[in-house]
Amino acid sequence: MAFTPPTVEQLGLYLGLGEIDGNRADLLIASAISLCQTVVKPLPEGADAVVLSVAGRAYVNPQQVSYETIGPMSVQRPSGSGGLYLTKSDKSALKSLAGRGGAFTVDPTPTTADPSPTWPIDDAGFADEFEPGWGYG
């Protein structure tokens, strides 16, 4: 199954908002998809969770406000908690969903490789001649 872009309604549910600005949400979802495609293209199935996370961060905190005081209430958000960007976790999740980023093994041996020796061998199991200085006489 291929990647299906999240909808505006899904972004609203993800953020827990009753109402959501459809045009703004569409723009952020499209931008989040483009940003995710800089890591993995085409986007794999399941990447909608990362797209929602990226678009949701930008929707709730577009100016990247880190500290805000309104009357007696003050809120401090972690640094880098707004705007449109990918975290290290987002990038890892995208690579993992695409089947990349893990350990792997490469076997350089050709399938036609023959285990028998390719050099001449005498009856004693040694090559017929040795270069001078190797101690064989």
The pLDDT tens digits of the residues spanning 19-37 come to 998 899 999 999 999 999 9
Mean pLDDT, residues 102-126: 73
Q: Mean pLDDT over all residues of the chain? A: 81
Break the chain into its structural domains and give their ranges: 8-97
Is residue 127 pLDDT above 60, yes or no?
Answer: no
Q: Which of 101, 82, 83, 84 is nearest to 39 (CA)?
A: 101
Q: What pLDDT was estimated at residue 102?
A: 66
The pLDDT tens digits of the residues spanning 57-85 come to 888 877 666 666 788 887 776 665 556 88
Percent of the residues in the chain that have a pLDDT greater than 70, as a whole number = 73
* pTM for this model (two decimals): 0.62
Q: Report d(CA 97, CA 43) in Å as an integer.
A: 9
H-assigned helices in the chain? 8-15, 22-36, 48-60, 88-97
Q: Rounded to the nearest 5°, which phi and psi values hold at 128?
A: -60, -40
